[in-house]
């Protein structure tokens, strides 16, 4: 069973009797996998995110994959979250958040970032890239320009 698959933890065995295949699932333990989505749109900083994760209502016999969604106001480094949170049954955290920027407002700035945003908005209108590619380009460029 793959890491991203959800449900009971175990394996499948087969047996051939009288030219018929019989398949059975054998659970390894009583743990089950589950996914939880956590919207970070209204979370203002890393400390608040950690508090939200630590306060999630989780069942004791489950292993969880937490998917972070929404528009973030701060940088999220998943590897550091594992070190900080105190929930042992969270085995995977996936960051699917987007940056929370007002591009139109930023494009009016007379800075390198403003010039980039203006050119970026032109590329959106030209439709040379997919929305996913544009989101990634924007995220990488704005992160680099902020440092």
| pLDDT tens digits, one per residue of 24-55 | 766 666 778 889 999 999 999 999 999 999 99
Question: pLDDT tens digits, residue range 74-122?
Answer: 888 898 888 889 888 899 999 999 877 778 888 888 888 888 888 888 8
Token digits for 104? 């139109």
Kindly provide the residue ranges of all beta strands, DSSP E only, lying in 40-118, ordered along the sequence: 62-69, 71-72, 90-95, 98-99
Taking phi over 0 as left and psi of -120 to 50 as alpha, with beta for the rest, 83 belongs to alpha
Enter the DSSP assignment of 13: E
Q: What's the CA angle centered on 70, arms 64 and 73, to 5 degrees?
A: 110
Kindly provide the residue ranges of all beta strands, DSSP E only, lying in 18-107, ordered along the sequence: 20-39, 62-69, 71-72, 90-95, 98-99
């Amino acid at each position: 069973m793959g890491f991203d698959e959800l449900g009971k933890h175990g394996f499948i065995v087969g047996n051939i009797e009288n030219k018929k295949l019989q398949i059975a699932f054998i659970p390894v333990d009583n743990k089950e996998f589950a996914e939880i989505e956590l919207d970070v749109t209204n979370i203002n900083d890393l400390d608040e995110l950690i508090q939200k994760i630590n306060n999630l209502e989780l069942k004791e016999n489950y292993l969880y994959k937490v998917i972070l969604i929404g528009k973030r106001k701060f940088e999220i480094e998943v590897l550091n979250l594992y070190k900080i949170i105190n929930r042992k049954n969270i085995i995977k955290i996936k960051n699917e958040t987007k940056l929370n920027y007002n591009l139109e407002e930023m494009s009016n700035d007379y800075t390198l970032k403003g010039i980039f945003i203006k050119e970026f908005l032109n590329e959106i209108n030209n439709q040379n890239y997919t929305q996913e590619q544009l989101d990634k380009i924007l995220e990488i460029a704005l992160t680099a320009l902020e440092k």
